[in-house]
Amino acid sequence: MIGDIPPEITFQFTNGVETSNVADAKLEYDGEKVKNGIVKINDDGEVAFAIYNEQWCATKKYNLNDIVIKAFTTKANCKI
């Protein structure tokens, strides 16, 4: 049994290293490995994220289907 799962699972990426607020949880996805940012999944299975590289910032909020991509300026400006 997995135990208590929080209402929101958070995956943090720093220089390509993934950490989570749930022990041994790994985010499974296809494509290029996420280098920096945060991905959150709520208890309804909805996804929100803010991921970035040296050029771009991509964000998505829980209640929206659209992904917003803009030029990266600072980490503080690339958030959910």
Asked if residue 13 lies in contact with residue 35, where contact means CB atoms within 8 angstroms, the answer is: yes
Question: Tell me, what's the pLDDT at 3?
Answer: 60
Q: Within a domain: residue 36?
A: yes
Tally the domains of the chain. 1
* Backbone phi, psi, residue 76, to 5°: -65, -25
Q: Within a domain: residue 27?
A: yes
The SS3 call for residue 75 is helix
Q: Within a domain: residue 3?
A: no
Q: Within a domain: residue 1?
A: no
Q: Within a domain: residue 71?
A: yes
**Domain residues for 62?**
8-77
Q: What is the pLDDT of residues 2-16, one digit of tens each?
A: 566 688 999 999 999
Model confidence band, residue 1 (pLDDT cutoffs 50, 70, 90): very low
DSSP string for residues in 29-64: --SSPP-EEEEEEETT--EEEEEE-SSEEEEE-TT-
Q: Within a domain: residue 2?
A: no
Q: What is the pLDDT of residues 19-35, one digit of tens each?
A: 999 988 999 999 999 99
Q: Within a domain: residue 56?
A: yes
What CA–CA distance (Å, rounded) separates 49 from 80? 6
Q: What pTM does this model have? A: 0.88
Q: What is the pLDDT of residues 33-67, one digit of tens each?
A: 999 999 999 999 999 999 999 999 999 999 999 99
